[in-house]
Amino acid sequence: MGRVAGKKAFITGGAQGLGACFARMLADEGAKVYITDINGDGAAATAAAINDKHPGAAWASGHDVTKRDEWKTALEAASDAMGGVDTLINNAGIGTFGSIETATDEDWRRTQEIDVDSIFIGTQLAMPYLKKAPSASIVNISSVAGMIADGNMIAYNTAKAAVWMMTKSIALHCARSGYDIRCNSVHPVFTRTPIIDPLIALGGGGEEGEKRLVQQIPWQRLAEPEDVGYCVLYLASDESRYITASEFKIDGGITAQ
């Protein structure tokens, strides 16, 4: 039996990077996975690779997480395909640069819309499905950037801090309501996915750019997607059945400084 055998997971932003890794790891441990992304072809490719290994374990659809109607359609399709939804991984997100002096209204709004509003909308719409499940887990992908600030990331810092606190509010509501629905946040440091390419470029690109980025991390290497995936796997599984309203730092020690 896998660690998440029988679970029915809805994963956003699964075309690449962390979301694709979470989908693969959950399917490897026995879950069914419904993968969405604004890049529908990428989500379909992730699902196809999983189905090659675990036939019938994965589905995919194009889904813009900022759109309420697209959430409704995708959740309904996921529930029909998997026989319910008991695990929600709110992973889709973007990073933006800009300080209090340089960030534009557009950068600010787009970051809040994709990184924060989407989790409010999606989790609200997923609640009826999660309430029907014998036990459910919501995992929100925040960032260390929600805990420690950078002068040039005002929109992203603010968005990821909001995800951290929204997680606790959702968790407390569910617990006080007597729902068996847990909600936790995960806070990775720089992890080897396409989202950090601009950060590596800022440091001069290539190995040199990566070296500069890594200097900030006490563990002195980038996180790999699987390093974050093991935490998500734990939170999706019943092994974490008493854990709610908590934050998990996958940060190589960076927030301890």
Ligand X SMILES: NC(=O)c1ccc[n+]([C@@H]2O[C@H](COP(=O)([O-])OP(=O)(O)OC[C@H]3O[C@@H](n4cnc5c(N)ncnc54)[C@H](O)[C@@H]3O)[C@@H](O)[C@H]2O)c1
34, 156, 179, 234: which is the annotated catalytic residue? Answer: 156
- The β-bridge partners of 74 are none
Q: What's the closest the beta carbon of residue 137 comes to ligand X, in angstroms? A: 17
d(CA 2, CA 30): 5
Beta strands in the chain (DSSP E): 8-12, 32-37, 58-62, 87-90, 136-141, 181-188, 247-250
Is 96 among the residues that bind ligand X (CB under 6 A)? no
Stretch near ligand X under the rule CB under 6 A, chosen from 25-33, 35-43, 45-53, 166-174 = 35-43
Q: How many CB atoms lie within 10 A of CB 134?
A: 9
3-state class (DSSP) for residue 187? strand
Among 4, 31, 38, 233, binds ligand X (CB under 6 A): 38
Q: In angstroms, rounded to a whole number, what is the distance separating the alpha carbons of residues 220 and 213? A: 9
Options 91-99, 202-210, 212-220, 239-247: segment touching ligand X (CB under 6 A): 91-99
Query: Of 74, 121, 136, 196, which lies in the binding site for ligand X, with binding defined by CB under 6 A?
Result: 196
CA atoms within 13 A of residue 67's CA, in its CB half-sphere: 10
Specify whether 234 is catalytic.
no
Stretch that binds ligand X, among 73-81, 125-133, 192-200, 207-215 (CB under 6 A): 192-200
Q: Does 13 bind ligand X (CB under 6 A)?
A: yes
Residue 25 and residue 63 in contact, taking contact as beta carbons nearer than 8 Å:
no
Q: Look at the chain and count its residues.
A: 257
Phi, psi for 140 (deg, rounded to 5): -105, 125
For ligand X, the binding residue among 193, 237, 240, 244 (CB under 6 A) is: 193
Q: Which residues, 116 to 175, sit near ligand X by CB under 6 A?
A: 141, 143
**Residue 15 binds ligand X (CB under 6 A):** yes
Residues binding ligand X (CB under 6 A):
12-13, 15-19, 37-39, 42, 63-66, 91-95, 114, 141, 143, 188, 190-191, 193-196
Q: Which residues are catalytic?
A: 156
